[in-house]
Structure 1
Amino acid sequence: MRKTSVVFLLLFITGSFLTCQSNISPEEQQVSPADFSLESSPVVSPEESIGLMQVADGFEVKLVASEPLVSAPVALSFDHKGRMWVVEMTGYMPDTTGAGEDLPSGKIVILEDLNADGVADTRKVFLDSLQMPRAICLIDGGILVAEPPSLWFYEIDQDKPGKKTLVDSAYAVGGNVEHQPNGLLRALDNWIYSAKTNKRYRKVGQKWLKEQTHYRGQWGISQDNEGRLYYNNNSTNVLGDYFLPGFGAFNQNQKLVAGFNEEIVADNRVYPVRPTTGVNRGYLEGVLDDSLRLVNFTAASSPLVYRGSLFGKEFADNIFVAEPAANLIKRNILHKNGYVTSGNQAYQDKEFMASVDERFRPVSLYNAPDGSLVVVDMYRGIIQHKTYLTPYLKKEIARRQLTQPLLSGRIYKVVPKNAEPKKVTLPAEPEKLVKLLGHRNGWVRDNAQQRLIDSRAEEAIPVLRQATKESRNPFLVTHALWTLEGLGALEAQDVERLMQHQIVPVRVHALSVLPSILSKNNYNRFLPKLKEIAQSNDSLAVPYVAFLAHHLQSFDQAAAHELLGLMVSKHATNKYVADAVISSLSGREEAFQQKVLSHTPDTSLAIHRQLQRIVSEKRQAQASRNKKEILQQFSKGAAIYATSCQTCHGADGSGVKSLAPPLNQSEWVTGEKNRLIAIVLYGLTGPIQVKGRLYQAPEINGDMPGIGYNKALSEEEVAQLLSFIRKSWQNKASAVQAEEVKKVKQQLKNRQKAFTVKELEALF
């Protein structure tokens, strides 16, 4: 344990540092900050928990639902009546061993506020007997349910499940509960996106479509008012896309595309209002500060772009991030410069919302129909999965008896003081819904669009078409455009007109919707305008034209190639255009590289640098393909790798941006066996040099957890994993035997923390 500030502990014990924002009077409050210490963390009522929260000036927290009405909530969705459909993951980590996690105890429940007082008062179980459900999406008279490994669609019949359809049997194959797809965001472009996966889904009639998209984030996914996506991983504040989501994932040889998976907010500092010793690696230098509070994100989740109108103009396009390990919610402010988005934290040395209650676990955030910010609080002591649970954290859990409660859960909303949020229900009349497409509240716009599409409101088509001619409200224009697309009623002239719109986001959406209507019969009418944009200074639209070349290829390969050439000649210094061009070159990168060199020989230009990177990566990937005999010989190791390692290090061992360095051709993998065994068993923290390059936070996650704490893994299985890694891809090192793993385990039997590079080098 690090040296503790005596002053801080005195403040913490007396509670004199906390100013609470609460809906209950001091007389009603049964607990105070003085009841919370490094030795005590009592379970408190929802009302008492609110009294232990700090919230930004001018705001207050109100209770929406709590146990026994809801238990262990992790996600929710509002229907058009304003009711909450809530995912309950009651089976998660019943104790530090995770015993019983495989039992089908999860539920989807419907919570409703019948007396309109803002608090849910009825609970209806829609689905039960689910194993670790994690996400839902209401669509087309039914509901998508993510229940690993599958994604299911249930028709809804008077609030009861009807016909059940398998959408994807491999939605969440491999990975543990912390590293499986989730989110199911129904976006502006009518596709459904998830975090922690590279798949997107769409329902067209009775058919489900599935396409490849960019791999995004870890837990939670959100969109801004223009339809761009935001996400993060556990140690990163905000990641996101500069471009709309349907583009750039066409070239299998292109691992990274500039403008996607970008770091939006680089500052990962957090400011808890209580000591947070109950984090998995709290024993490491630099994880906690001198007052024993978490320094940087360790469980960042559910980034949410605020799109309501209740908070005021200064909150437009702000992005909130939950940190359940530190019992807080952060506010960030986004800045847009062309298509480049950046951001900074809204406050110095404090948070938008934070609590002294250690069991306050904000895991998901949502925009509500009434414009408030909804907080899903799992209200549990244990949130770290058993796969990575360290002995240090087990002791912290026992110290403050954090195993209980298991069946609590709260849902709150944050609102401005003295505000009177009004319950919002969507009308059934198509004309009224069309008007709502221009509403100030993003939830209202999104759901008006979705209801028009789900009800197949063909009578609204003329009104929608007229709305696309509205020049004063870009929200109305873009939502009407995508509603027409969702209804299958979009026509070439609609898009052609909007491609020349004076408002940039509208022009961009016109280009983005073009693939939906592009055909062999009409592509020629768009080519002149696309060529004009390609040679123009309209830098915001040019990358989209490069992305569109992929779609033109199936109709006219020569025309698409000419379009790419025009863009290269005009925008050779722009890396975003370069990568957009490359995204349309799958399998033809080398040939295009030679052609560009003949016309533009300056190899310092962005187009040459990006092309050379792709060509090199392609050749390396071809040389790194695993042979069947490796997969067969170390089948158990391959399975463990897919479950525990692949999400951070990649299927090809090349590492994943913002998460982890490469294993392929890494000296740490192919070198001294005992070092690798120690890393995999007990983890690694801090900077590490791989193949001459230094990897450190925030470029990657600064800590790799070990799997040696997982008692379910035998020494033989660990040896299989290590052997698989040492012989996969371009690695040709010797196998690891179970006896070698056992020997290192015995040598390090008292080890309770991750290694640093210096420690490993001194030890082995």
Structure 2
Amino acid sequence: MKYVTGLAIGLFFFNGITTTLAAAEISKNKGDREGHDMSDPIAAENIPPAPILSVEKALASMQIQPGFVLENVASEPLVASPIDIAFDADGRIWVAEMLTFMPNMDGNGEEVPEGTIALLEDTDGDGKIDKRTEFLNDVVLPRTVAVVKGGILYADQQQLYFAEVLAGDALGIREVIDSTYAAGGNVEHKPNGMLYNLDNWYYNTKSNRKYRVLPHSSAVPNGAKEIYRNKYWKMVIATTDNRGQWGLSSDDYGRLYHNGNSSPAEGEYLRPGVLMKNPGFQSSVKANALGSNRVYPARINPGVNRAYLPNTLISEGENAGKLAQFTAASGNQLYRGDQFPEDFYGVSFTPEPAGNLISARVVFESEGKLQGSELYPQSEILASTDERFRPVNLNTAPDGSLYVVDMYHGVIQHKEFLTTYLRNQYESRGLDKNNRSMGRLYRLRWESKPLGPQPTMSKQPPSQWVEYLSHENAWWRDTARRLIVQNQVMSVTTAIKQLVESNEDHRARVNALWTLEGLGQLDLDIIKVGLEDVHTKVRAAAIELTTRLDQSAHQEISQYLRRFASLSYEDALQVALIAGEIKGDDALLALKDVLINYGDKPWIKEAAISGLTGREKEFKALLVGTNLPEFMKMLNSVGKEDVNNSNALNLTADEQTSYNRGKALYSGKAACFGCHGADGAGIDNMGPPLKSSDWVNGPEQRLAKVLLNGLMGPIKVNGKQYNVSMIMPGFTASLKDQELADISTYIRNNWGNTSPRVSRGVFEKLRKAASSRDIPYTEKELNR
């Protein structure tokens, strides 16, 4: 059985090697598990040292595929413990530095407000950073940074902020946007990302929230609410699919790519949130794994949290001692630059800091599914023999290269999951030393092709931004769209429409349509241009954007939908997603045609119901005489599942109050949804289901112990084995007894569960009884 701890911040893994230890000694670290023999799989004399290497020696330690070259862009003292970067409109780098992550092996002092957000610049044009401006130096464990009109967005251990950037890069106002952005959980299990996507929303991983900047006068989109405003804009928030762990990227069509700790690359075939339109029928978009999770390190890897377990390391042959599979997949990047050869466009790159490498996967699309395969079979695009090389994030850069964010941090496993085995590994090679002052940024580029120019977009007129909407490098396309939309530059509307009408690159046409959406300048004529496009992806964007038109255009739009219903699977799928929102006479007839022609294809039934909101009965009448039993069963369940599966109405008034508090905690401070899903159905490789669960509805003391102290290892739920890779952390330190009782009320009376809540008194008693316990329970312990 393989056990790995979770990571929501991509940089924490499951490292491990150690000798057999006495039970009393083992209990020192929270990641230790009862019954584990933490004997060293590799003799100490066979493990190479892990000294701090100069940049020159670190580069010499890299094994890189032919044709590529790795160059250092910045290193200490210009950067330290970097975990995320963002390029502004002039190509300058904003970097979030988590300086206090695991400052010592006990993690004491990590929440001291000494994390930094810095601005890095290359002032002489030689391709290397030579200027550092420390913009903020009082952030608690900064987790993400993104650029926005007027300044930057960043998040700490708890909240999302706006920080205004004044002339001379001075700090202006600094205000909280969302006080619960990263509430609950520990440092490894919190949101991150803030990716500005094609649809003009910012998305996150380890989160079900999305954010959008709007002009003060703009209407708030359906399903969203305003949470903040400043002199530049207002911010709205809405719910989206919960996804990923650490890092986020997108393709040219707004589909999102992410990872899990042992799953290096996952892609969503559908645009985010498209199956969440119907409140009576919610269906999540399942991401597709892109290729296998095998890795091929350049050095042996004893320093992973559970290396002592079978199959964690390769046991024999020339690669004995090397990591076998991903355990710490971090911020993967779908490369959309123009500096690599054309065949690399759309390749998914994933860093594995536990294995000191970066892996690459080709992505290809089939009907209703994204798939992938290793670009370099049985090898990696880049692997290092330096154990301190910790790539945790990747970014496509303005110059077309791929930037590598190297935390260069010896300790990357958080105290919540650290085993005694790994602690000894870290200490034996001095990896616990000098972890606050080191850090590197690298540039991976194609050796025989020059780098692209440094942008100066903030100093250029908006007419130039329009030209960049069709740039070969997606960074320029995305940044130009953000600048035009967030600055609401209406004067360039005509020029953008000309891109839709005549640009040869379909990616530019798609981007231009969504730029018009962000400006609120879509009209029937330009949508018709998109609907008549020869490229499926442009038609797909145009079909989605018909929902932004006034209802007076719906009659004509519905005629297009009828034609697209039998054109191709992808066209039909887009019709299914929006037909119910179009009020023209042919819209529901088009949907009927889609179901008859493609009803057995992936996502069609779910898409149809998602888009039908409020018109289910009307559509059902159209289906008389058709043979669609599976669809009819789904259609008949609309609006019933939530009511039938919630027991809240059968509770007393006091219990209902507790239920509602627990509901807020589940999706907020406790962040339970991050691993178990908003629907309680569980999330692959993260958390088992709570829905109709014998663990939720079973003995109250067992559930209370899990909520207080956590759970680790495999677990059998309703007779099915779940080899979940993550440890569930306990809430002893973060939640009060009443809050735990409220969560129990909610989960024991939702999703088909109908069990009495666990009282506050039960939690009080068990908290006292287990006051000295600092490690999670195992199933075996709780079932004794």
Q: TM-score range by the shorter chain?
A: 0.7 to 0.9
- Alignment check: 8 A CA contact 2:81 2:436 kept: yes
**1:317 corresponds to 2:346:** yes
Partner residue of 1:76?
85
**Mapped contact 1:192–1:200 kept (Cα < 8 A):** yes
* Aligned counterpart, 1:190: 200
Q: Which residue of 1 aligns with 2:557?
A: 526
Cα distance change of structure 1 residues 620 and 244 upon mapping to structure 2, 3 Å threshold: same
Larger deviation, residues 297-306 vs 644-653: 644-653
Write the letter of the residue equivalent to 1:703: S
Given that 2:339 and 2:450 are in contact with CA atoms closer than 8 Å, whether structure 1 keeps it comes out as no
Matching residue of 1:297: 326
Aligned residue in 2 for 1:62? 71
**Correspondence 1:489 to 2:499:** no
Q: Amino acid of the residue matched to residue 394 of structure 2?
A: L
Partner of 1:649: 676
Q: 1:515 Cα deviation (Å)?
A: 3.0
Q: 1:354 is aligned with what amino acid?
A: A
- Rounded to whole Å, the distance in 1 between the matches of 2:561 and 2:84 is 42
The verdict on how the C-alpha distance between 1:276 and 1:722 changes in structure 2, with shifts beyond 3 A counting, is farther
Partner SS for 1:156: strand
Matched, 1:538 2:575: no
- 1:504 Cα deviation (Å)? 1.1
Secondary structure in 2 aligned to 1:325?
A: coil
The offset of 1:637, in angstroms, is: 12
Contact residue 655 and residue 745 of structure 2 kept, 8 A: no
Q: Which amino acid aligns with 1:494?
A: I
So what's the TM-score if we normalise by structure 2? 0.81
| Aligned CA distance change for structure 1 residues 476 and 348 (closer, same or farther; 3 Å) | closer
278, 284, 288: which one pairs with 1:263? 288
**Is 1:270–1:294's contact at 8 Å kept on the other side of the alignment?**
yes
Distance 1:557 1:529, change over 3 A: closer
2:625 maps to 599
Shift of 1:726: 8.1
1:47 counterpart SS class: helix
Find the partner of 2:335 among 298, 302, 306. Answer: 306
Q: C-alpha distance in 2, partners of 1:613/1:690?
A: 26
2:307 aligns with one of 279, 282, 292: 282
C-alpha deviations, 1:334-370, integer Å up to 9, x for none?
Answer: 1123553211112222211122222211111000111
Closer, same or farther: CA 39–200 of 1 in aligned 2, 3 Å: same
* CA shift for structure 1 position 422: 3.7
Q: Which residue does the alignment assign to 1:408?
A: 438
Task: Please give the alpha-carbon distance, in whole angstroms, between the structure 1 residues aligned to 2:455 and 2:293.
Answer: 38
- Tell me if structure 2 keeps the 8 A contact 1:634–1:723: no
The amino acid across from 2:245 in the alignment is Q
The answer to whether the 8 A contact 2:297-2:355 is kept is: yes
Q: Which residue pairs with 1:513 in the alignment?
A: 545
User: In the alignment, what sits opposite 2:428?
Assistant: 399
State the percentage of identical aligned residues.
34
Structure 1: where are the runs of 5+ without partners?
A: 3-8, 10-34, 697-701
Amino acid at match of 1:444: W
Measured in 1, the distance between the counterparts of 2:670 and 2:644 equals: 24
2:755 equivalent in structure 1: 732
**Contact 2:646/2:749, CA 8 A, preserved across alignment:** no
Q: Residue 284 of structure 1: SS of its match in structure 2?
A: coil
Aligned 1:607-626 pairs, distance under 5 A: 607-608=631-632, 610-611=634-635, 617-618=641-642, 621-623=645-647
2:485 matches 1:453: yes
Matches within 5 A, 1:689-704: 689-696=716-723, 702-704=724-726
Q: Contact 2:648–2:749 at 8 Å: present in 1 too?
A: yes
Residue 494 to residue 723, structure 1, CA distance change in 2 (3 Å): closer
Q: 1:59 offset after TM fit, Å?
A: 1.5
Structure 2 contact 52–388 (Cα < 8 Å) conserved: yes
Q: CA RMSD in A?
A: 3.7
Change in Cα spacing, 1:569 to 1:169, as seen in structure 2 (3 Å) is same
1:184-226 Cα offsets, whole Å, 9 max, x none, are: 1112222221112222222222222322222221111111123
Whole-Å separation in 1 of the counterparts to 2:618 and 2:683: 27
Runs of 5+ in structure 2 lacking a partner? 3-16, 18-43, 216-232
Letter in 2 for 1:690: V
Q: CA deviation at 1:232?
A: 1.7
Q: CA distance change for structure 1 residues 576 and 90 in 2, over 3 Å: closer, same or farther?
A: same
Maintained 8 Å contact 2:288/2:369: no
Secondary structure at the counterpart of residue 427 of structure 2: helix
Give, in whole Å, the separation in 2 of the partners of 1:125 and 1:635.
41
CA positional deviation for 1:141: 3.1
Tell me, yes or no, if the aligned pair for 2:555 and 2:586 is still in contact at 8 Å. no
CA contact (8 A) 2:558 2:584 kept: no
**Structure 2 SS opposite 1:302:** coil
Matched, 1:347 2:376: yes
Which stretch shows the higher mean deviation, 484-493 or 183-192?
484-493
On the 8 A contact 1:246/1:512 being kept in 2, the answer is no
Q: Give the stretch that moved more between structures: 657-666 or 611-620.
A: 611-620
1:261–1:727 CA distance, 2 compared to 1 (3 A): closer
Once the two structures are superposed, what CA deviation does each residue of 1:612-671 show, in whole Å capped at 9, x if it has no partner?
787785355324789653874998999699536442123554312442221343234444
Paired AA for residue 323 in structure 1: E
**Residues 567 and 152 of structure 1, relative CA distance in 2, 3 Å threshold:** same
Query: What is the CA deviation profile of residues 381-411 of structure 1, one whole-angstrom value per residue up to 9, with x for unaligned ones?
Result: 2222233333333333333332222221111
SS at match of 1:213: strand
Distance 1:655 1:617 in 2: 17
Distance 1:563 1:339 in 2: 20
User: Does the 8 Å CA contact 1:250/1:550 hold for their aligned counterparts?
Assistant: no
Distance 1:540 1:648, change over 3 A: same
> Is 1:391–1:752's contact at 8 Å kept on the other side of the alignment?
no
CA distance in 2, matches of 1:496, 1:273: 54
Structure 1 residue 207 and structure 2 residue 229: aligned?
no
**Secondary structure in 2 aligned to 1:198?**
strand
Q: TM-score, normalised by structure 1?
A: 0.83
1:547: which partner in 2?
577
| Matched residue, 1:417 | 447
Paired amino acid for 2:427: A
Q: How far 1:559 sits from its partner (Å)? A: 7.3
Is contact 1:638–1:724 with CA below 8 Å preserved after alignment? no
Mean Cα displacement is larger for which, 270-279 or 107-116?
270-279
SS in structure 1 of the partner of residue 49 of structure 2: coil
**1:320 Cα deviation after fit:** 0.5
1:239 is matched with which residue? 266
Q: Deviations over 1:6-27 (max 9, x none)?
A: xxx9xxxxxxxxxxxxxxxxxx
CA distance in 2, matches of 1:683, 1:728: 21
Partners of 1:568 and 1:578 within 8 A in 2: yes
* 147 and 254 in structure 1: CA distance in 2 versus 1, 3 angstrom threshold: farther
What does the per-residue CA deviation read over 1:428-464, in whole Å, with 9 as the maximum and x for residues that have no partner?
Answer: 1334333332222111222233333345444433222
CA distance 1:458–1:350, change in 2 (3 Å): same
Q: Residue 154 of structure 1 corresponds to which residue in structure 2?
A: 163
Check the 8 A contact 1:267/1:345 in 2, yes or no: yes
The aligned counterpart of 1:272 is 297
Q: Does the aligned pair in 2 maintain the 1:324–1:361 contact within 8 Å?
A: yes
Q: Indicate how the Cα distance of structure 1 residues 446 and 713 shifts in structure 2: closer, same or farther if over 3 A, else same.
A: closer
Q: CA deviation at 1:571?
A: 3.1
Number of the residue aligned with 1:373: 402
> Quick one: structure 1 residues 527 and 645, their matched pair in 2 at CA, closer, same or farther if it must change by over 3 Å?
closer
SS at match of 2:514: helix
Count matched residues: 711
Displacement, 1:124?
A: 0.6
Report the CA distance between 1:712 and its aligned residue. 5.0
Greater RCO, CA 8 A, separation 6+ = 2
Alignment deviations for residues 270-305 of structure 1 (CA, whole Å, 9 cap, x no partner):
222223232233333332331333322222121211
